[in-house]
Structure 1
Amino acid sequence: MVEKAKNDAKDSDKGKGKDGAPGAVWFREPQRRRRSPGLSRERIVATAVDRLDREGVDGLSLRKIAADLDAHATSLYWHVPTKGDVLDLAIDEVFAEISLPDDHRALDWREVVLAYMRELRAMLLRHPWAASLAGTRPLAGPHALERSEAVYAALTRAGFAGPVLAATAAAVSNLVIATASTQAAWAERAEAGSRDALRGLITERHELYPTLAAHLEDFLGDWDTQFEIAARTLVKGLAAQRTEGQA
């Protein structure tokens, strides 16, 4: 399977232009890197993360990273051949910020899953660009795989197996990625003004949206409370499914 993934990545990379195939950097054979004073893959990735935090994916290019490093763009290609490689390396770099309890293998699986969900959300809100990449690019780097291993291990201890295990792990991550993406999208606008406008719209047209109008403040509740309720509800539902022997 790994060999096939490597070959597929090489083949797809040929037809994907300058960005390469998503995740190809993890399957491609490492290339020999030319020595460049003061330049390394680690510095390039750190600079890319900083630029992504400031300008998002649309503001990222190898030329801009080179300018930030006071280097020539061609010298970057010896370390990161494509923009796609940079994106994959950057998303894995920020996954390293997700901490799990040192004794997570001995903890109750629910504690581990909730801790992961909270940490993943906090990371995605610190790096708003990461939520869209986490949902569209393979998370095949060492930091992401280490976190996936911890979540899978916790869910396996809980008794989940087979396709249900994979679906359960996906539900855990997808809930966080979706809610963080929504919050990040609102934050790009003047959120207070948008909330006021939506409140006014629903209030004015309450005949059309009577249930939303009746629960308006809950509908427009704060992000942290809504996320915590959603995360706990999901884990509680998973626990119930496991107890009922459906997993």
Structure 2
Amino acid sequence: MDMSATGESGTGRRAPRGGGGGGGDVWLRPRPARRQAPPLTRDRIVAEAVAALDEEGEARLTMRRLAERLGTGSTTLYWHVETKDDVLDLALDAVFGEVAVPAEHSGDWRAEVGALAGEWRAALLRHPWSAAVLGRPLMGPNVLARTEYLHAALVGAGLHGPHLTAAAYGLANYVIGSAMMQAAWASRDEDEARRAADERLRAEHDRYPTLAEHGHLVGKDWDEAFTHGLRYLLDGIAAQLASGPAHP
């Protein structure tokens, strides 16, 4: 699951930053002290940012547009978040907060990991922009709590060291990749795109015989394909555990 110098304006307020370090800074930077609390909360900013991202996507999100949606000025917004990267970090963590995490481990690592992966995928699909911006340091409390749960379940199964890392990354990358692919198809006329793809494969059957014969996923098959793929991954982890101690 990674900071520029802070300027001061003549009014005593911090000057807005124009760039960003690629994300993650918001979790490492202490909240600034204020002489007077502004009429805006971070929770409200995050909720509006998630709504804006759901409606328009990441490319159209700007600090100015977010301030307009909140009915406030940019100066007030910059009291809470310094860059667009801050907003994306906070919004992503809010998405992870939708993933249910049991209070205790059941001892059934496959059921725990499978449920977590399914919940995570569902959250990403509810917010299609989220999977595409996950290539950033993720250090928010919701992300860390769910990552902790995943790692603890795998450690409880008997994985350690590089085996633990490989399993956790493999599962995470599978969830992210499947959500990204499904969201990409959903953003277009899926039926028309698939018809065009099928026509090309039929026309070039000799070059791509396997693809032409077995075709593509259609909308109703996404869930089934995800479930089968996840089972293959979990079967592989189980086979590794059965072969002997999964230690460095």
TM-score by length of 1: 0.89
Query: 1:35 corresponds to which residue?
Result: 37
- Residue 43 of structure 1 aligns to which amino acid in structure 2? R
Q: Distance in 1 between matches of 2:168 and 2:33?
A: 37
Unaligned segments of structure 1, at least 5 residues: 1-8
Measured on the aligned residues, the alpha-carbon RMSD in Å equals 1.7
Query: 2:140 corresponds to which residue?
Result: 141
- Residue 60 of structure 2 aligns to which amino acid in structure 1? G
1:44-63 superposed matches below 5 A = 44-63=45-64
Query: 2:12 corresponds to which residue?
Result: none
Q: Classify the secondary structure of the residue corresponding to 2:207.
A: coil
2:49·2:87 contact (CA, 8 Å) conserved in 1? yes
Query: 1:153 corresponds to which residue?
Result: 152
Q: Distance in 2 between matches of 1:40 and 1:191?
A: 40
1:14·1:20 contact (CA, 8 Å) conserved in 2? no
1:158-177 superposed matches below 5 A = 158-177=157-176
Taking only the aligned residue pairs, the percentage that are identical comes to 47
2:158·2:245 contact (CA, 8 Å) conserved in 1? no
**Would the alpha carbon gap of residues 17 and 45 (structure 1) be closer, same or farther in structure 2, given more than 3 Å must change?**
same
Query: 1:130 corresponds to which residue?
Result: 130
Unaligned segments of structure 2, at least 5 residues: 7-16
Q: Distance in 1 between matches of 2:158 and 2:59?
A: 42
Q: Distance in 2 between matches of 1:14 and 1:190?
A: 46
Query: 2:26 corresponds to which residue?
Result: 25
1:23·1:85 contact (CA, 8 Å) conserved in 2? yes
Does residue 1:121 correspond to 2:121, yes or no?
yes
Q: Distance in 2 between matches of 1:100 and 1:107?
A: 14
Per chain length, whose mean CA-contact separation is higher, i.e. which structure has more relative contact order (CA < 8 Å, sep 6+)? 2
Q: Classify the secondary structure of the residue corresponding to 1:77.
A: helix
User: How many corresponding residue pairs?
Assistant: 232
- Residue 79 of structure 2 aligns to which amino acid in structure 1? W
Q: Distance in 2 between matches of 1:189 and 1:68?
A: 27
1:141-181 deviation line (CA, Å, top 9, x unaligned): 00010000110000000110012111211111100001100
Query: 2:109 corresponds to which residue?
Result: 109
Q: Distance in 2 between matches of 1:239 and 1:14?
A: 49
Specify which structure has the higher proportion of helix: 1
1:93·1:143 contact (CA, 8 Å) conserved in 2? yes
